[in-house]
Structure 1
Amino acid sequence: MCTLDGCGSHEHLGPPPKATDEQRRLFLKGAAALPLAVVLADPMLAHAAGHGLDKVTITTPEGDEMVAEIAMPHTLPAPTVILIHEWWGLNDHIRAVAAEYAKQGYIALAVDLYGEPPATTPDGARALMSSMDPVVATRKLQSSVEFLRGHKDSTGKVGSVGWCFGGGWSLNTALATDIDAAVIYYGNVNKTPEQVATLSAPIMGHFGTLDKNINKEMVDGFERSLRIAGKTDYEFFWYDADHAFANPTGGRYDSEDAMLAWNRTMAFFDEHLS
């Protein structure tokens, strides 16, 4: 579920984190590092950060194909994480985050559930999202898990993380597979006790108190479903922030909460995927 202006608006209500000209020059030459938020807020830097990913083709048993992109860490073997894009599709923003996950020691697989060029407008994103077949998407994610478990450089541990549209699909991945951990950033968690009965992975959720769609009523209902189904291995965090607070390309970006959510996510994956 996404709000009218989406998972991170392309119009700013306030200034995003910004690199100086010298910092940009050094980063583009590969001679300097920058905080992830600064990279993501600058399209040229995000493109540079994510350009080194390799394309891989994931094929389901039913013959559906998906071209995903993979980032490799220096130290192998390594645990793995599936990154699921916002409603925009697989863009440089997600590629750059995948590259950062690789720097943190994970094999990072950025999936593309649309198989189309990413959208740049809410109408375009809405069209992509509505045209996607959820049954096929589930099969692609199941096959992505199998791909990573069997990867020659994998430890066999697999996690998933997604934002907005991708947050809901990170949960769906945990319901449809036996992954080892799942993280949800302000994604649709409207599930019944029967739907969560298959959950075996620990989950972490990040939600904003100002989010009118992925709101407390929805998350409380999800927690009730988990309890009824006997699921206890979950933790939800609430931030004084709005939807898409972790996306520095949007006017709702909250730097402190984004960093706190990032650190919690890294600690969660370190605990469950190491």
Structure 2
Amino acid sequence: MKRFCFCVLLLCSLPLMAATPERVTFPSGSETASGLLYLPSGAGPHPAIIVIHEWWGLNDWIKEQANELAGEGYVALAVDLYRGQVASDPEMAHELSRGLPQDRGIRDLVAAFDFLAKRKDVDPQRIGAVGWCMGGGYAAQFAVAEPNLRAVAINYGPLPTEKAALARIHAMVLGNFGGQDRGIPPSSVEAFVAAMKDLHKEVDAKIYPDAGHAFENPNNSQGYKPEDAKDAQERMKRFFARTLKGNG
């Protein structure tokens, strides 16, 4: 899978967390995968969201996203696809992303789904996923691989194109993309939407005309679009409330 992750390096520190996450491990084939688990208040069972990081790894910005989702009532599991490594510069991020076998990444995400589905505080019928950049591409491929995933939000991630793969997607799909993203041009988004609709799949993709890649990340000093980012976040918030909570 091509990874079009030309984000700007995350430099800012994370605001104080509402709750301390728990590092959890779970089997992934013959290996062990891990992630940070953020819990909402109350006994549940709650809806859950698997959070998939950018090519930088499981860094502070991704932790912040998972923490915010927990604050909205979801069990949020931020999966560590790099097994503890976090990039400190674009060259390292490039090497880490190239060194991650796609089949292992998808296997880890499916294992994360199984881990959540077995928890007493999670409703296994209401598990979704969200990813950005490289993680957006993995979110899309995760939807192909896991038929029980209920909803997935893809933020400027590479999209599958094979009709047979799209036919295996059962999750409802939301997408947010930049019209100036040279790696994921609007034409590829439009083709994906058209193919999904031909297959009678539920899909809602929005292209922000003036935005480029990684426009939602405030640490992307050259490409952050505050108004577009806020709109994209609100779209995701409404999407998950509808698909995982049954609101609206």
Aligned to 2:31: 64
Displacement of 1:50 in angstroms is: 8.0
Displacement of 1:254 in angstroms is: 0.9
2-structure distance, mates of 1:95, 1:160:
14
| 1:142-188 C-alpha deviation (Å, 9 max, x unpaired) | 11111111111112210000001000111111111120100000000
SS in 2 for 1:49: coil
Q: Which amino acid aligns with 1:113?
A: L
1-structure distance, mates of 2:18, 2:82:
19
SS in 1 for 2:163: coil
Is 1:164 aligned to residue 133 of structure 2?
yes
Q: Which amino acid aligns with 1:272?
A: T
Aligned residue runs from structure 1 range 172-187, under 5 A: 172-177=141-146, 178-187=148-157
Counterpart of 1:92 (choices 43, 57, 60) is: 60
Higher radius of gyration, 1 or 2: 1
The RMSD of aligned alpha carbons is: 1.7
| 1:4-35 C-alpha deviation (Å, 9 max, x unpaired) | xx23x138xxxxxxxxxxxxxxxxxxxxxxxx
Q: Which amino acid aligns with 1:182?
A: V
Displacement of 1:55 in angstroms is: 0.3
Aligned to 1:134: 102
TM-score (normalised: structure 1)? 0.83
Counterpart of 1:73 (choices 16, 34, 40) is: 40
| 1:55-99 C-alpha deviation (Å, 9 max, x unpaired) | 000212x22211110000012311100000000011111111111
User: Residue 55 of structure 1 contacts residue 67 of structure 1 at CA under 8 Å; is this kept in 2?
Assistant: yes
Aligned residue runs from structure 1 range 1-274, under 5 A: 1-3=3-5, 6-7=6-7, 9-10=8-9, 42-43=12-13, 45-46=14-15, 48-49=16-17, 52-60=20-28, 62-77=29-44, 78-156=46-124, 157-177=126-146, 178-228=148-198, 230-239=199-208, 240-250=210-220, 251-274=222-245
Displacement of 1:212 in angstroms is: 1.0
1-structure distance, mates of 2:19, 2:31:
25
SS in 2 for 1:235: strand
Gaps of 5+ in 2: none
Give identity over the alignment, percent.
33
2-structure distance, mates of 1:191, 1:207:
16
1-structure distance, mates of 2:172, 2:105:
22
2-structure distance, mates of 1:171, 1:194:
14
Displacement of 1:42 in angstroms is: 3.4
User: Residue 49 of structure 1 contacts residue 99 of structure 1 at CA under 8 Å; is this kept in 2?
Assistant: yes
User: Residue 183 of structure 1 contacts residue 205 of structure 1 at CA under 8 Å; is this kept in 2?
Assistant: yes
Displacement of 1:2 in angstroms is: 2.0
TM-score (normalised: structure 2)? 0.91
Structure showing the higher helix proportion among its residues: 1
| 1:224-265 C-alpha deviation (Å, 9 max, x unpaired) | 33244x133000011131110100001211111111111110
Gaps of 5+ in 1: 12-40
SS in 2 for 1:194: helix
